[in-house]
């Protein structure tokens, strides 16, 4: 039950970023675990759809939703530098906003996921598949039959509508033949203090939001992991 790669050779960028709310950052720092969400909780209605589904006059939505429940997915942004478009520009509350990001070198995170596989794989069914790699973006919405057939992939969780290409997504996917009864899973790696990652604070925050988050990171003992956003030199969140 080792991890295998899919479309991974297409990834040349150095880093993997995960943009987090305050709560999700705390969970990561306290547990050192990578969160995998069940695919049916994602906002993308076309998550894990097959070409057969799309060729139907009326897709079987119940079947699609049931299929999604067989996948646990951890999504990351693949890039050499952080992207302004992936920071939240607005949320009703600061608690729901992407206030921070964690950043791993791609090769480091893959290595860690593999190294700690035995600890985590024992929690899953023996026919479970573990796969990592880059999303293939395909034209699905409004495509004719020939175009759709040409977009076939062997791993449904690694194809998304081309409109989402700006996300440049990289994934770790756990798939099994039957439904996961839980909506997510904490994939245990190591104590966060021991992990090779950095924390970036959202440069779009104003100073009244920026400094409390910085203080929180310091109080949790992770100030050494904090790096300045590549965008801060233009946005200067500490001055607003």
Cα-based distances in Å from 163 to 1, 15, 22, 62, 168: 33, 22, 28, 24, 11
Express each pLDDT in 66-109 by its tens digit.
999 999 999 999 999 988 888 876 566 777 789 999 999 999 99
Give the integer Cα–Cα distance in Å for 124 and 44: 25
Contact 69, 179 (CB under 8 A): yes
Mean pLDDT of 204-230: 93
Mean pLDDT of 42-66: 90
| pLDDT for the residue 132 | 97
| pLDDT for the residue 161 | 92
Identify the band that residue 233 occupies on the pLDDT scale cut at 50, 70 and 90. confident
Q: Say if residue 154's pLDDT is above 90.
A: no
5 DSSP β-pair partners: 132
| pLDDT for the residue 91 | 63
Give the integer Cα–Cα distance in Å for 208 and 194: 30
Give the integer Cα–Cα distance in Å for 207 and 238: 5
Identify the band that residue 152 occupies on the pLDDT scale cut at 50, 70 and 90. confident
Count Cα neighbours of 70 within 13 Å in the Cβ-side half-sphere.
17
| pLDDT for the residue 63 | 94
Contact 153, 159 (CB under 8 A): yes
Give the integer Cα–Cα distance in Å for 181 and 173: 16
Task: Fill in the DSSP letter of residue 190.
Answer: S
Mean pLDDT of 153-168: 92
Cα-based distances in Å from 187 to 10, 31, 120, 167, 239: 25, 10, 6, 23, 38
Contact 80, 13 (CB under 8 A): yes
Largest CA distance in the chain: 57
Q: Say if residue 122's pLDDT is above 60.
A: no
């Amino acid at each position: 039950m080792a991890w295998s790669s899919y479309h991974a050779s297409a990834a040349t960028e150095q880093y993997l970023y995960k943009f987090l709310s305050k709560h999700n950052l705390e969970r990561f720092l306290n547990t050192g675990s990578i969160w995998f969400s069940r695919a049916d909780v994602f906002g993308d209605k076309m998550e894990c759809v097959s070409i057969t589904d799309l060729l139907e006059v009326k897709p079987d939505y119940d079947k699609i939703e049931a299929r999604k429940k067989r996948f646990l997915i951890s999504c990351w942004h693949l890039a050499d530098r952080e992207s302004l478009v992936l920071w939240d520009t607005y949320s009703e509350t600061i608690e729901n906003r992407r206030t921070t990001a964690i950043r791993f070198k791609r090769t480091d995170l893959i290595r860690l996921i593999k190294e700690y596989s035995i600890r985590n794989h024992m929690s899953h069914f023996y026919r479970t598949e573990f796969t990592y790699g880059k999303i293939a973006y395909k034209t699905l919405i409004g495509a004719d039959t020939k175009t759709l057939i040409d977009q076939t992939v062997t791993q449904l969780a690694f194809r998304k509508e081309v409109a989402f290409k700006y996300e440049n997504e990289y994934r770790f996917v756990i798939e099994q033949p039957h439904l996961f009864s839980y909506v997510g899973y904490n994939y245990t790696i190591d104590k966060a203090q021991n992990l090779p990652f950095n924390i970036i604070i959202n440069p779009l925050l104003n100073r009244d939001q920026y400094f409390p988050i910085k203080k929180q990171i310091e109080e949790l003992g992770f100030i050494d992991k904090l790096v300045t956003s590549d965008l801060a030199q233009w946005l200067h969140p500490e001055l607003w």
